[in-house]
Amino acid sequence: MYNTMLVNCSGCATALMLPPGAGSIRCALCHAVTLLSDPRSISPSSAAAPPPPPSPYNHAPPGPLPNPHGRKRAVIIGISYRFSRHELKGCINDAKCMRYLLINKFNFPEASIIMLTEEEDPHGPKFPTNHNIRMAMFWLAQGCQPGDSLVFHYSGHGSQKRSYSGQEADGFDETLCPLDFETQGMIVDDEINEVMVRPLPHGVRLHALIDACHSGTVLDLPFLCRMNRMGQYVWEDHRPRTGVWKGSSGGEVISFSGCDDHQTSADTSALSKITSTGAMTYCFIQAIERGHGATYGSILTAMRSAIRNVGNDGGVVGGGVVTSLVSMLLTGGSLTGIGGGLKQEPQLTACEPFDVYTKPFSL
């Protein structure tokens, strides 16, 4: 467990949770960076204040350490919205490449991966409708045991809708768009958090990979890693000011997303040079295959660098294992690329802050 410290934001005086060992924290409301040494961050009554209440992570039942060889299972979703004005070209490629990666790189059993795409039976449970995606999320989190490793990958449209709950720093809920979202509605970040994050007990690990527009905080996790182009970062406190708990029940949840909440994610052939893929999915797989998968920080910086360099001379795009994989799984797509770099920045969110450059990455 982490020993955390509460400080007041030097800009708006909101209480913020300072990550262990960190000297600063960024406020999601006013964007001020508060330094530990800033006198405005020290509450007048802090010296006499009682210790904070126990972390929800301490509520897990006692017992032996988790089995390091626990079960692995995954839900992979790729939606192309074929024959509609919302059509995307690379999402099914993304789903197939992610399935291949999980099976061949991280030893996920084929039988433990549920893949929802439009190539499945339109009347079956693996067609990516609102109902089927919800059921898949429930399946992923149901009956988890210590040692389990879960993966949720989504490639498709994402959006936003106005939030009136007071739980969103920017006033908007982030959403995923099922194939039938125009008639059955979108899946809101509050529900994703409630179904896949909050139930997870101690010893369970969930990694989400969301390749969609407006996806920065689509799991509603309490902390966002705000990183600059030099690789320097500060954890931003996104806990709702209403006091609602958005973390897990002791499990570890970490999400990579394609862009910030206000940005859009690209569906492009500029990376693979062969066919369309989601930029975030392609760059994540490329980071793993090119040896940048040691830590969360090394993955995130490699992804951001690849996206920034799209279309630039010397950019590290195209070629190698990922392009070969895309070619092998080729399902067709537009060959119109995007030059001059992509205007998106992959994000990292988590239930608890950690040192991104020392924490080993593992699925």
- List active site positions: 157, 213
Burial class (CB in 10 A: 0-12, 13-18, 19+), 52: exposed
Dist CA 338 CA 350 (whole Å):
31
CA distances from 45 to 13, 49, 50, 154 (A): 14, 6, 10, 46
Decide: 293 and 324 in contact? Cβ < 8 Å: no
Residue type, 79: I
Dist CA 29 CA 14 (whole Å):
9
Annotate 325-343 with DSSP letters as a single string. Answer: HHHHT----------S--S
Pairing of the two strands 158-162 and 187-188: unpaired
Beta carbons within 10 angstroms of residue 9's beta carbon:
23
Decide: 8 and 15 in contact? Cβ < 8 Å: yes
Dist CA 92 CA 77 (whole Å):
8
Residue type, 315: G
